[in-house]
Amino acid sequence: MFVVGCDSPPSAESPLPAVARVLLRTPLSVASVVSSFIALHPRAHDLWVSAASNAGESDVIALLDAGAARVVLDASSELFPSLPYDRIVARFSTADDLAVDAFKPAVNAIIVPADLSSADFLSSIAAIKEICKRKNMGLIVEDVSNGILSSDVVASLDKMGLDIILQERKTNLSTLSEYLFVCLVSDRADGLVATAIVDEQRVCLGVAYSSAMSLAHAIENKVGAYYSRSRNGLWIKGLTSGAVQALERIDRDCDSDCLQFTVRQAAPGFCHLNTRTCFGPDSGLTALQSTLQLRKENAPKGSYTAKLFDDSKLLHAKIREEADELCAATTRDDIAWETADLFYFSLAKCVANGVGLNEIEAHLEKRAKKVTRRPGNAKPGYIEKDSSSQAAAAASVPPVQGSPVLDIKMKVYDSTALSSSERSSLLLRPILNLSEISARVAPIIESVRTTGDAALIALTSKFDGVQLSSTVVRAPFSSESMRLDPRVKAAIDSAFENIKMFHAAQVNAGTLTVETMPGVVCSRFSRPIERVGLYVPGGTAILPSTTLMLGVPAMVAGCKEIVIASPPRRDGTPVPEVVYVASKIGASAIVLAGGAQAIAAMAFGTESVPKVDKIVGPGNQYVTAAKMQLQNDTKAMISIDMPAGPSELLVGVIADNDANPAYVVSDLLSQAEHGTDSQVILVAIAPTPTFVAAIQRELQAQGEALPRRDIVRVSISKSYIITVPDISSALEFSNLYAPEHLILHIEEPATVLPRIQNAGSVFVGPWSPESCGDYASGTNHTLPTYGYARMYSGVNTDTFVKWITSQEVSRDGLDAGGLGDVVLTLAEVEGLEAHRNALVCGLNEINFPFKMVYTIVVHLYAKDDPECIAKLHNKLVEASAVYSKDKETISWFVMQDHIDKRAFTIVERYEQESSQQYHLGNPYWQTFDPYVIPLLDRPMDLRRFNELEGEVPV
């Protein structure tokens, strides 16, 4: 056992009391401190208190009555004989075996200090341990060393059966979890420790395993965290389902080979089958409490259940009635019956006021620790009260009618009564962030990347329970593998044609061409993505419709290779409906795998699975996490369509009863049945109470009739109805929520389409149920969820194409059109010299400075020699054929009758600025090559030369 010595009580947020007993070192004589600690940590380990040196017998009794499990007194105290010995601990100032042996009072245990970092501390403690054993009292060793205790020392003391008081300043949650784990015993090769999970009433919810890592996470975060053998890593209960656990306390059994986690379990419960326990539905008082809480939230207005919670006089009358009837009962059966009635109405009183069983039991446990006993009497007026009159008065109260343990009902919120924070919370999805799921997905991705088909086969066996002989089925697919009922085949064919027609109309085969400046032509054209992977979920439903929704647009777009991944059936074969659609769309292969492993296989490629360039398709959180990870993995080099996750729905409904409740509810349930992590919302516009009641009745009736009602029961519990005053408010809420599906059950629904900003797909009017879009109307049902409709579109033909742009700039466009100057200026601003030079080379060729060449050469060489000038003229004329310059312009340059000094000044300045030297003294120029480009060492900055020409005065 660990005891942590603290100078002050731990805060309400501290997990410390959940793991170890707390000893308040600061001497106390005030019982209120103990009471406050118990209130903050009702399920904590025992609280030990050091009594003040001047504390009297009444002070110690008050501490015990307040809930202190043990009170620590100095060994020299004279109070021991008058106190309950089993609740008192004596503290010694030194580890002196003679002093301990001479100690006479009977106590529960003694505390001795020890330097646990010294090499011989065990030998010094051994003698005291034998004395305590002989005197039938416990021995607790208080660490007074300066360093942090090693795990080996803690384990050694624990094996000796010694309890340890740790110093708070040296003990953080990480070291405490480490100490606890080293004291555990495991008979498993992997070192995992069996862990029983119980609720606050010690009802066992299920069994799991703990590792050092999971134990540390649980303690540090006060959550139910365990080690998952199937996932080979950390499992935080409720992270994805919402059925979270708040950790209240950790205990170990007598042999230290099993842990017990006491938790507060959120609905629907611990089991993956959505029951509160893994051993079936809950029972007893905990089940009654859950039932009453649900009835309080969902009781129809005016019902007897609602009256019990709303009318305190009626409830109090029932409690008194049942108490009197219990008093009048005589037989065993009657006593049990009336006690059950009294429990029911007493617990109804508690639920009505937000009091839980855990608080009741905390008071019972606190009373069990009281030393002072109640006087054996009753309040005046109760002993002689006439029970018969009470029974007669209660005869007119009707009995409580039964109802299902968990009704299929939606919570109702009034938008006008919500604060801004409450309204914002309703816009949040029930799905938590992907960080934890990503940690689970990462090793799956790496396994597939490194071992390929072997990992795919192993993971399919692990997660799907299917042993594959082959990971891929390649086209052409056998007729046997797609044998279908003719009705099913005809339905698929019809849906195929509708989807094909709508998506073919989206194809844009033309080229967009725009002349942005004279001589500058830009264009855009599309090309199909060559290799695409389509993920078709399996699991709880067969989804040939998803194969159509992904495959038809890919086919229409012209993708050369289409690969489908979908979990296999139990016999290792693909679903026939999926194979049939795969054949129609021209798929090359079907990968027999689901989940993150299928996504990784298509992203990297394996020995049998072709690598693709883009992956599209919906899936659970693991599929979504894998897609998002891999699109950022440069080794995979893929893109994805969108982070499409569990389905959701938003429905707008008017309040004048023109909307048919049956139609509305059928739309809600069509999405709620997808999975327990789905969410549906009904936005009701100024609804009457009758309309809302009709919706709730339809939910119960239609939901209970569904084969997937257990899934619906959970998803509906996360869903809600929000009432709004008008259509504008409804659309405002819808646009903020950005639903995957938006169904309009309102008058003239088409008129509000221009006001819809964020939605995956809209279903207009009562004759456009969401199911039409799911299967066969022609639109696509793979849509953005989680609110991603704010920035993503659903799957469409463009999902499977990429757009390429081109630009063609003519000689005149670069020069006369002005594009060259624009680019030069921006390249200068950004300091990218190579970009700038790329333009300078072209512009210099176009605008070769014939006048400057003539000026330099004539001024330095020809001077007034007419024969040389004529020769230069002829050479420049020849050059004009190469550089496409106007011959008359060149002649004009040549025929100038004089060379002024201004031109030479310009050349000199340019030379000084740019450090470019004109090698005009080279013999090369004695012959004057007509291709005059080699005049300069590097491309000339024509723009700067022209600026200088403007700066030098004429």
The catalytic residues are: 740-741
Structure tokens, 787 = 């609110």
Identify which of 546, 616, 670, 923 has the alpha carbon closest to the alpha carbon of residue 792.
616
Identify which of 885, 889, 891, 886 has the alpha carbon closest to the alpha carbon of residue 872.
891
Helix (H) / strand (E) element for 25: namely strand 21-28
Contacts of 449 (CB under 8 A, 6+ apart): 600, 604, 635
CA angle 678, 775, 684 (to 5 degrees): 50
Question: How many whole angstroms separate alpha carbon 155 and alpha carbon 495?
Answer: 68
CB 785 within 8 A of CB 680: no
Contacts of 694 (CB under 8 A, 6+ apart): 661
Phi-psi region at 586: left, alpha or beta (left = phi > 0; alpha = psi -120 to 50): left
Q: Parallel, antiparallel, or unpaired: how do β-strands 648-653 and 741-745 relate?
A: parallel
Contacts 24+ apart (CB under 8 A), 298-307: 298/407, 298/409, 298/411, 298/696, 300/693, 300/696, 301/689, 301/693, 304/398, 304/400, 304/401, 305/400, 305/401, 305/403
Neighbours of 454 (CB within 10 A): 14
Question: How many whole angstroms separate alpha carbon 427 and alpha carbon 829?
Answer: 46
Q: Parallel, antiparallel, or unpaired: how do β-strands 258-265 and 245-252 relate?
A: antiparallel
Question: How many whole angstroms separate alpha carbon 741 and alpha carbon 781?
Answer: 9
In sign, the C-alpha dihedral spanning 414, 418, 424, 428 is negative
Contacts of 702 (CB under 8 A, 6+ apart): 662, 665, 666, 669
Identify which of 803, 795, 778, 800 has the alpha carbon closest to the alpha carbon of residue 557.
800
Q: Parallel, antiparallel, or unpaired: how do β-strands 204-210 and 193-198 relate?
A: antiparallel
Question: How many whole angstroms separate alpha carbon 27 and alpha carbon 158?
Answer: 28
Q: State the DSSP string of 573-586.
A: ---HHHHHHHHHHT
Neighbours of 950 (CB within 10 A): 8
Identify which of 435, 470, 468, 463 has the alpha carbon closest to the alpha carbon of residue 596.
463
Q: State the DSSP string of 606-675.
A: -SSSPP-SEEE----HHHHHHHHHHTT-TTT--EES----S-EEEEEE-SSS-S-HHHHHHHHHHHHTT-
